[in-house]
Amino acid sequence: MSVAEQYQAFKQLGLKLDMSRGKPAPEQLDLSNVLAEALPAWHAADGTDARNYGGTVGLPEARALFAELLDVPAAQVVVDSSASLSLMHDVIVYSLLNGVPGHAPWVREPVTFLCPVPGYDRHFAICEARGIKMINVPMHDDGPDMDLVEKLVAEDASIKGMWVVPKYSNPGGVVFSDAVVRRLAAMKTAAPDFRLLWDDAYRFHHLGEHKLAVANILDACAEAGNPDRAFVFASSSKITWAGSGVAALAASPANIAWWTRHAGFRSIGPDKINQLRHVRCLKDLPTVEALMERHRQLLKPKFDAVLAQFQEHLGDVPGVSWTQPQGGYFIDLVTPEGAAKRTVALAREAGITLTPAGAAFPYGVDPKDSHIRIAPSFPSLAEIDQAARGIALSLKVALSA
Ligand SMILES: Cc1ncc(COP(=O)(O)O)c(C=O)c1O
């Protein structure tokens, strides 16, 4: 059968799969069903009644848990409600409107962010929505192109921030080296109020046997004499329940005091009931790691299935490659220039909805139209096997046109 005939036959299967986002599968969510029964009492260790208002910085035991998970002092952690993305958004909005500690509001001058690409579409969407200009920075195997980053931040005082997903990045699966972390912490910036938005979304989300570690950015910044440079974000979204977990922010004491002041205007306190449930279920680092191992066992076969299908159908297609992530939620399929959009459209016609081509770039524009984000987590193993074949066929058809 020709590639076109194989694609037509695939279309006839009438698949209907949404792989546009990296969502945990139902069986992954089931791993945390104990949360539903986890509230024998609603008083926190310090006597706080979690059913009532208050506690902007989160319950002490929730802060202690995230302090252990993120390897930072509990006083430098705030635990909020369910989404780390909301914390990122708020840090940006507070910085725009009020300025970071000791500095003028960003919004008085043009504001630019550096964006390692390919990257996370929702980071870029926040910038676009809040009027922040974005500059693409290429991602290497060990992190962003640091020579370029250092040059840009040294020259341009409008660069106030940079997005960072330091581990198993979305979508490239990149793990930052110690050298890159040190350079980000120590680089000279023309803007005195420059900030790293350090999104540690995949800290525990290993796919390989080895648990890769990234150097502690808050320590690196403090050692380099830039203690206030980084805001670290994390959540239990892909540990327990996505959208119904708890989110955390870690930063220097000055940044935590600043965040707490501003967050106090936006809410009378986070969902402490959910914090209590999470503390009771997640307990400590070893318990979280054991849970993540169960996630790994569910996710790994799906990633392996995609990689095997790509190898079988695309292994000998010139100009096509893909990442082999050691963790995280994505595979980045790299096509010859100009083929990504067409491939995504063909996959959609065959019943597979992918993240729009270009989404991993600021303004939705992939200059080479060559990256497709594959999110293997949500479909079942049988579905993902078929879907990966359908994506490979779609790419082959796109290339043969
Ligand atoms: C890099 C990254 N950061 C943040 C999020 C969302 O995190 P949360 O659910 O805590 O808002 C995701 C979800 O896909 C992500 O990939």
Residue with tokens 């198993």: 168
CA–CA gap between residue 162 and residue 140 (Å, rounded): 16
Per the confidence metrics, is the pTM higher than 0.95? Answer: yes
Instruction: Inform me whether the pLDDT recorded for 350 exceeds 80.
Output: yes
162 CA distance to ligand 1 centroid (A)? 16
- DSSP-based three-state secondary structure for 77: strand
Mean pLDDT of the chain: 96
Of 324 and 1, more confident: 324
Q: Which atom of ligand 1 is nearest to the CA of 247?
A: 10
Instruction: Inform me whether the pLDDT recorded for 40 exceeds 70.
Output: no
CA–CA gap between residue 307 and residue 312 (Å, rounded): 9
Give the mean model confidence (pLDDT) for residues 111-126.
98
| Ligand 1 lining (C-beta closer than 6 Å) | 22, 83-85, 120, 165, 170, 199, 201, 235, 237, 242, 247
190 CA distance to ligand 1 centroid (A)? 29
What would be the CATH architecture of the domain defined by 3-22+288-400?
A: Alpha-Beta Complex (3.90)
Instruction: Inform me whether the pLDDT recorded for 287 exceeds 80.
Output: yes
**pLDDT tens digit sequence for 180-234:** 999 999 999 999 999 999 999 999 999 998 999 999 999 999 999 999 999 999 9
- DSSP-based three-state secondary structure for 195: strand
Q: Is the CATH code 3.40.640.10 the one for domain 39-283?
A: yes
What are the start and end residues of each CATH 3.40.640.10 domain in the chain?
39-283
Q: Which two tokens stand for residue 237?
A: 């979204």
pLDDT, residue 39, reads 76
CA–CA gap between residue 362 and residue 378 (Å, rounded): 25
Give the mean model confidence (pLDDT) for residues 24-32.
96
Give the mean model confidence (pLDDT) for residues 12-29.
94
pLDDT, residue 1, reads 87
Instruction: Count other C-beta atoms under 10 Å from residue 400's C-beta.
Output: 10
Burial class (CB in 10 A: 0-12, 13-18, 19+), 42: middle
Residue with tokens 């058809």: 397
Give me the phi and psi of 233, to 5 degrees please. Answer: -120, 145
* Residues in CB range of 269: below 8 A, 6 or more apart: 53, 54, 55, 56
Instruction: Inform me whether the pLDDT recorded for 390 exceeds 90.
Output: yes
* Residues in CB range of 71: below 8 A, 6 or more apart: 216
What are the start and end residues of each CATH 3.90.1150.10 domain in the chain?
3-22+288-400
